A and B are shown apart, each in its own frame.
Chain A
Amino acid sequence: MHKVKYIGGSLIILLAFWQIVTWLGGWNEALFPSPLGTVRGLGELLASGVLAADIRASLSRFALGYISAVVLAMALGLVLGWYKKIWNYLNPVAQVLRPVSPVAWLPFIVLFFGIGEMPALVIIFIAAFFPVLLATVAAVQGMEPVYLKVAKNFGIGQPQILGKIVFPAVFPRIATGLHLALGTAWVFLVAGEMAGAQSGLGFLIIDARNNLRADWLMAAILTIGVLGLVLDGIVSYLEGQIYRRWGLTRRT
């Protein structure tokens, strides 16, 4: 019940603040939209089906980029966490690459992959890849040793031990990385779609800007925010389930 109160309250504060800024600024509607204008713009986008199509394009692009990054980063992280010596050589490289914003690579990405569909995918991939890789390596290296003792005791051999024991044992800690990566990757979705994609929420933003439709621009921004929140909620829920099953208390 309190939650409804807080959410409602914060919405009212946001709308009031927005409206006041609109009045005080006195800008042309084409440059800065009022809340009402944005709602009208959102209505137009919904009615024409443009928004739904762009959401679909963004979500499928995001899913492809994120999932492929996560699968690859977890598999690689598992192996590299297990074979510490290889990781010792690769860790400095990863540490150097990690803080670089994925967008910085854009000229090279365009050079390698052209414009259109691929840059968005690659940028989402890079954004998700490093948090998951580092979380997985750290999780494997910090694994509770008793699981390994049990596995050795029952004669579980080298290749199976990774999938059967190590991966599930460290999964809750990887899940934290997955959550983090989801947020980061979503932030970079828009940037990725600005590089020549012909659909998606990032494209919608560029398109609205070029057409001086600030109301559409604001509607797209709000949509990105709300979708990000929903995705985060889903992952939080799944993470909670995993923590419960593994018998861990949730880190807050």
Chain B
Amino acid sequence: MSYIKVEDVSRQFTKADGSVFQALDHVDLEIKQGEFICLLGPSGCGKSTLLNILAGFEGASAGTVTIDGQTVSKPSPKYVTIFQNYGLLPWRTVLKNVELGLEEQQLSADEREKIARHYLEIVGLQNFADSHPAELSGGMQQRVAIARALAVDPEIIFMDEPFAALDALTRMKLQDEVSAICREQKKTIIFVTHDIDEAVVLADRIVVMTPNPGQIKTILPVDLHGQRDRTSPDFWDIRERVFECFALKPEDKTEYYI
């Protein structure tokens, strides 16, 4: 039985001029526990809407979403979302930001701090515990958000274009780190992106989505045998197949003469 089950989900928005925008149109998707799924597509394809529905921030207009057999109706600390603009609380120190989710649990202050420090170490920010978010770079802030998400030991982590605001090199570095951390912690990850390379590097399966109306076009398994080398031939092979999905690959028009 699949862990996350999206059945026939649609979502419409009524625009200001009264016209209806079909963000999601009869979407079906099944995800196994521990999978790393990338929702890939251009803007307007409904990938963020689907994520928001999965995370319980929005309701679907039709259809159902179940996680572990339970219908999703509101957000839960069991499924934590990481946002593009980090969502850190600027008035709190890095340590206190990581403790935020733990404060709703029955823990002593010492236990909270111990857990928070542990996860700060995992993301390599143990020396920045007393800094404030504004003092950190974008990449470091997103690491804090990752530590904060991991600290409550969620089953699923939803990521909504978490690296879109970072520069290319920082992004690649964080992709590798997130991939390693999440696989090690055995989390199920649903990751929204519009970056094809990012999806190929990270995903076990890439859910390719197309806009107008938002639909799943195809699902591509990524079989890189655990080797996420951006320069390997396998990588380029999968990348090429994604390009084909979006019809981005120019047709071969070379004329051959014998």
Contact = CB atoms under 8 A, between A and B. Distances in A.
Interface of A: 146-147, 149-150, 152-156, 165, 168-169, 171, 244-247
Contacts of A244: 134
A168 B91 contact: yes
Contacts of A154: 77, 80, 100-101, 103-104, 152
Interface residues of B, number: 24
Contact of A246 (B76, B79, B103, B134): B134
Nearest to A146: B87
A104 B132 CA distance: 46
Contacts of B57: 149, 152
Nearest to B74: A152
Contacts of A155: 75-77, 101, 104
B55 A153 contact: yes
Interface in B191-221: none
B89 A149 contact: no
Given A147-B89, A149-B83, A155-B77, 5 more contacts: A146-B85, A150-B83, A154-B152, A156-B104, A244-B134
Given A149-B83, A153-B80, A165 B132 contact: no
Contacts, number: 58
B104 A247 contact: no
A25 to B, nearest CB: 55
A223 to B, nearest CB: 37
Contacts of B103: 154, 156
Nearest to A168: B91
Contacts of A152: 57, 74-75
Contacts of B142: none
Contacts of B152: 154
B63 interface: no
B134 A245 contact: yes
18 contacts: A146-B85, A147-B87, A149-B57, A149-B75, A149-B81, A152-B57, A153-B76, A153-B79, A153-B81, A154-B100, A154-B101, A156-B104, A168-B89, A169-B89, A171-B91, A245-B134, A246-B134, A247-B135
